[in-house]
Structure 1
Amino acid sequence: MQSNISYATPANLIPQDAGQKHKLDEEETPSKAQQPEPNAEPTGSDLEKRLFEQRKVLIFGEINDKVAKAVTGKLLALAGASDKPIDVYINSPGGHVESGDTIHDMIRFVDAAAPVNLIGTGWVASAGALIYVAGHKKRRFCLPNTRFLLHQPMGGVRGPATDIDIEAREIIKMKERLNQLFAKETGQTFERIVKDTDRNYWMNAKEAIEYGLVSKVIKSITEV
């Protein structure tokens, strides 16, 4: 049996081609033009290092096990190094529920040691919203043009009819669990969440505040 339970992803990601590395000959000396300028724009690992030193974690793109592993490692390392707040920036179309659960649980796991701020930007959809509500409500922020999407999980399975039936029941249980979670974290009734997530439920930043999903819309990094 092949099984895959996830939130439906509203858009596909387009991977970027990796660039080729060039290795200098041992006796070759780079010219002045080839030498990086002291204040050159950071790229790749340099940018990651700077963000890590500033205790900032980015969750961008589809939520999967690779993203979950990377984010989990950063959260544990940052929480172990200091009790200063960690800023998590999220822009995601959604992805695998289990990977979203992993990041959601890890944010709550480290929050007692190092408070975690959640900052939504772009769109926070589906499994991305699941991660977003891991933060304490007073520390859930978003930028002015952020959009949010709530909906029910979807799954696909191939195999014997009995296995398909088992999978369907698991999705129903997962749907109820997630609806209970969003009801608790937004202050909406369970019945309201069930109704809203029966189809795609979109909110802009202002609507997300009224819904109880976001505490504050911020326009400056100094507001975090």
Structure 2
Amino acid sequence: MEGRHDPNRWGFPPPHPQPEWQPHMPGNGPGLPGWLEERLFDQRIVMLRGQLTAETATGVMAALLTLDSAGPDPIHLHVASPAGDLSAALSVIDVIDALTAPLHALVTSEAGGAVLAVLAAADQRAAYRHARFKLAEPRAAGVTGTADEVAAAAGQHLRELEEAVVRLAEVTGQPRSRVEDDLSSGRSLSAAEALDYGLIGEVITPKGR
């Protein structure tokens, strides 16, 4: 049931045999010791922390693909990312769409901008009750070059933005015009509001509540 805590669904999955290779995942961000990265990986958990960049996306994609090849059990993507490059987000989405194993996303603190499109690509989406969401127009990666090259990059960004908007509208059930307006205005949502909006399907609450 939506809004109810289900430990079997969102708790750590049982350990699954993994390949000996344990990747360093840039998406984990600074401050996580190697042993903790390995423990999370053993539990089929991938962390998306900090700004989503091309480097971060590469690490997340490598981890997702490795876990997918290791077995069919759900992969858990823990999200604490306020924003990121749209092209990097779409690269991660392409990998998510190709996964055989289901992907369960959990927003642990915040999700915003292009990261919301990554969230929308997951098979199941949940958030802790104090998580926050920021509907903000995803930014494009910095582009330099000739006027024609800059114009071409701007056109590509508009096409990618349209793809993200369409995906968010389909997942949330919101009219496309409303999604576009909310992204333009930078609307902020609490976890409960994100549930009502359709961004997530469950808010994790304390046991017994």
* Both proteins in one fold, TM over 0.5: yes
What is the one-letter code of the residue matched to 1:79?
Answer: D
What is the one-letter code of the residue matched to 2:167?
Answer: L
Contact 2:46 2:60 in 1 (8 A): yes
Question: What residue is the counterpart of 1:8 in the other structure?
Answer: none
- Write the distance in 1 (CA, Å) between the matches of 2:171 and 2:206: 25
Contact 1:153 1:174 in 2 (8 A): no
Q: How far apart are residue 74 of structure 1 and its match?
A: 1.3
Question: What residue is the counterpart of 1:217 in the other structure?
Answer: 203
- What secondary structure, in the 3-state scheme, does the structure 2 residue paired with 1:154 have? coil
Question: What residue is the counterpart of 1:123 in the other structure?
Answer: 110
What is the one-letter code of the residue matched to 1:54?
Answer: Q
Question: What residue is the counterpart of 2:76 in the other structure?
Answer: 87
What is the one-letter code of the residue matched to 1:72?
Answer: M
Aligned in 2, Cα 1:70/1:172: closer, same or farther, shift over 3 Å? closer
Question: What residue is the counterpart of 1:171 in the other structure?
Answer: 157
1:55 to 40, 44, 50: 44
- What secondary structure, in the 3-state scheme, does the structure 1 residue paired with 2:52 have? coil
What is the one-letter code of the residue matched to 1:193?
Answer: V
Q: Which runs of 5+ in 2 are unaligned?
A: 1-28
- Write the distance in 1 (CA, Å) between the matches of 2:90 and 2:64: 15
TM-score by length of 1: 0.72
- Write the distance in 1 (CA, Å) between the matches of 2:47 and 2:171: 22
- Write the distance in 1 (CA, Å) between the matches of 2:62 and 2:206: 28
1:114 to 84, 92, 101: 101
What is the one-letter code of the residue matched to 1:218?
Answer: I
- What secondary structure, in the 3-state scheme, does the structure 2 residue paired with 1:169 have? helix
Q: Does 1:203 align with 2:192?
A: no
- Write the distance in 1 (CA, Å) between the matches of 2:70 and 2:154: 43
Question: What residue is the counterpart of 2:61 in the other structure?
Answer: 72
Aligned in 2, Cα 1:191/1:206: closer, same or farther, shift over 3 Å? same
- Write the distance in 1 (CA, Å) between the matches of 2:122 and 2:172: 12
TM-score by length of 2: 0.77
Q: How far apart are residue 204 of structure 1 and its match?
A: 0.6
Q: CA RMSD in A?
A: 2.1
- What secondary structure, in the 3-state scheme, does the structure 1 residue paired with 2:129 have? coil
Contact 1:55 1:78 in 2 (8 A): yes
- Alignment: residue pair count: 178
Q: How far apart are residue 73 of structure 1 and its match?
A: 1.5
Q: Does 1:152 align with 2:137?
A: yes
- Write the distance in 2 (CA, Å) between the matches of 1:154 and 1:46: 34
Q: Which runs of 5+ in 1 are unaligned?
A: 1-14, 19-42
Question: What residue is the counterpart of 2:128 in the other structure?
Answer: 143
Q: Which has the higher Rg, Structure 1 or Structure 2?
A: 1
Q: How far apart are residue 159 of structure 1 and its match?
A: 4.2
